[in-house]
């Protein structure tokens, strides 16, 4: 193991060739007297693992099958998130206490660290999903130029608009984060749950009222934007869920009808669930 040898046998020098003169050498090519050996071996192990991970990711990234696999696996995580988020959001129909209990639970999971772990994982998933799909689309376009006839014959409408629906969903998520998570340009941050305060004497955020106000009739255009975004999400999932099965090798002649039914059923369930929230608030079914 060349790294290990250089850790143990390199003489004490003022600068390190491998690190091009950083002092003190940050990657342990030099033996430094003040560093305990336990942290050296832990850091060396970390470097070896990171190196293996980078090489593994690189080999996936350099083949189109590998990129498709990245899209499928990150897609599974994102679909699971969307379903989980929908089920949680439907608690809005159960009333203020149920919804605020749910929001409080999410924000205080693992003493508040849970939500940050979740955010970092989601960011990595979304980043990898977008980077791989954009790269695959560019590869496909470049490959198509070689053919005289460039018309798409078999692909469905939702499959042809995947990149467009995907980027619109990204724009929606950015808006949505500013709306309900960052709470930019509104006063939702100052909302305090009055029922909880009366019951326990403790203050907690009134997420339920935030959603009700966010989709109130005065902000009908916000609801309209949500409905449009959810429709594009539904179209994206209709094709995306089927593609996951295909990439993972589960699509056969026999299974393809079932896979199509599952993709359509799941997408429509997600669409109806999300759309029902702004619509129910707009028509005054909840929140009054
Ligand atoms: C009517 C539909 C939706 C409603 C009512 C809704 C509601 C909410 C609320 C209230 C929050 C903030 C939770 C809090 O901080 O207390 C939130 C966060 C979030 N929502 Fe949604 N959501 C909807 C649709 C979606 C969709 C379709 C997606 C993804 C495609 C999505 C992705 C997210 C993300 C990523 C967060 C940030 C979680 C965090 O890190 O705090 N939401 N949503």
Can you give the pLDDT of all 288 residues of the chain as single tens digits?
Answer: 444 444 444 444 444 444 444 444 455 544 445 555 667 788 888 888 888 878 877 777 777 888 999 999 999 999 999 999 999 999 999 999 999 999 999 999 999 899 999 999 999 999 999 999 989 888 877 776 665 555 555 555 656 688 888 989 999 999 999 999 999 989 999 999 999 999 999 999 999 999 999 999 999 999 999 999 999 999 999 999 999 999 999 888 889 999 999 999 999 999 999 999 999 999 999 987
- Answer yes or no: is 125 within a domain: yes
Same domain, 54 and 91: no
pLDDT at 159: 60
Note the pTM of the prediction, 2 decimals.
0.79
pLDDT at 273: 98
Atom of ligand 1 nearest to the CA of 277: 1
What are the tokens at 103?
A: 């929001």
- Answer yes or no: is 3 within a domain: yes
Give yes or no for residue 245 CB within 6 A of ligand 1. no
Q: Round to whole Å and give the CA distance between 125 and 79.
A: 11
Same domain, 156 and 244: yes
Same domain, 222 and 235: yes
Same domain, 55 and 90: no
Give yes or no for residue 180 CB within 6 A of ligand 1. yes
Domain of residue 29 covers: 1-62
Q: Which of 47, 62, 77 is the last residue of a domain?
A: 62
Give yes or no for residue 251 CB within 6 A of ligand 1. no
Mutate which of 74, 82, 85, 226 to test ligand 1's pocket (most atoms within 8 Å of Cβ)?
Answer: 85
Q: Whose CA is nearest to atom 43 of ligand 1?
A: 180
- Residues paired with 192 in a beta bridge: 205
Using the mean position of ligand 1's atoms as its centre, give its distance from the Cα of residue 102 in Å.
13
> 178-187 long-range contacts, Cβ below 8 Å, gap at least 24?
179/214, 179/222, 180/210, 180/211, 180/214, 183/210
Same domain, 177 and 266: yes
Same domain, 121 and 165: yes
Atom of ligand 1 nearest to the CA of 278: 1
Same domain, 17 and 77: no
Q: Whose CA is nearest to atom 1 of ligand 1?
A: 274
Least Cα distance to 288 among 191, 179, 215 occurs for 215
Q: How far is CA 165 from the centre of its chain?
A: 16
Same domain, 177 and 51: no
Give yes or no for residue 25 CB within 6 A of ligand 1. no
Q: Round to whole Å and give the CA distance between 81 and 184.
A: 24
Q: Round to whole Å and give the CA distance between 141 and 55.
A: 27
Give yes or no for residue 240 CB within 6 A of ligand 1. no
Same domain, 141 and 4: no
Same domain, 50 and 107: no
Using the mean position of ligand 1's atoms as its centre, give its distance from the Cα of residue 85 in Å.
7
Give yes or no for residue 99 CB within 6 A of ligand 1. no
Give yes or no for residue 232 CB within 6 A of ligand 1. no
- Answer yes or no: is 288 within a domain: no
pLDDT at 75: 97
Same domain, 173 and 53: no
Q: Whose CA is nearest to atom 9 of ligand 1?
A: 180
Using the mean position of ligand 1's atoms as its centre, give its distance from the Cα of residue 230 in Å.
12
């Amino acid at each position: 193991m060349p790294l290990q040898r250089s850790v143990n046998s390199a003489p004490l020098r003022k600068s390190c060739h491998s690190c091009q003169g950083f002092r003190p050498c940050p990657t342990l090519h030099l033996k430094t007297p003040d560093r305990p050996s336990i942290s050296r071996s832990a850091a060396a192990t970390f470097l070896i693992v990171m190196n293996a991970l980078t090489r593994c990711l690189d080999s996936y990234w350099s083949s189109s099958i590998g990129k498709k696999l990245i899209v499928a696996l990150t897609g599974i995580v994102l679909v699971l998130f969307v379903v989980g988020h929908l089920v949680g959001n439907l608690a809005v129909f159960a009333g203020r206490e149920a919804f605020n209990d749910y929001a409080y639970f999410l924000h205080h999971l693992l003493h508040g660290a849970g939500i940050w772990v979740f955010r970092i994982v989601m960011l990595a998933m979304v980043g990898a999903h977008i980077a791989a799909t954009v790269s695959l689309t560019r590869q496909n376009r470049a490959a198509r130029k070689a053919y005289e006839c460039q018309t798409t014959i078999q692909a469905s409408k939702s499959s042809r608009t995947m990149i467009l629906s995907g980027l619109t969903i990204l724009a929606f998520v950015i808006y949505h984060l500013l709306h309900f998570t960052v709470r930019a340009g509104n006063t939702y941050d100052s909302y305090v749950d009055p029922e909880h305060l009366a019951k326990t004497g403790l203050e907690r955020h009134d997420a339920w009222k935030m959603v009700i106000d966010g989709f109130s009739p005065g902000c009908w255009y916000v609801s309209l934007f949500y409905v449009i975004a959810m429709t594009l999400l539904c179209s994206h999932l209709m094709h995306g869920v089927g593609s996951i099965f295909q990439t993972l090798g589960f699509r056969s002649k026999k299974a393809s009808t079932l896979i199509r039914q599952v993709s359509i059923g799941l997408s429509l369930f997600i669409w109806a669930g999300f759309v029902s929230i702004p619509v129910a608030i707009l028509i005054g079914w909840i929140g009054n």
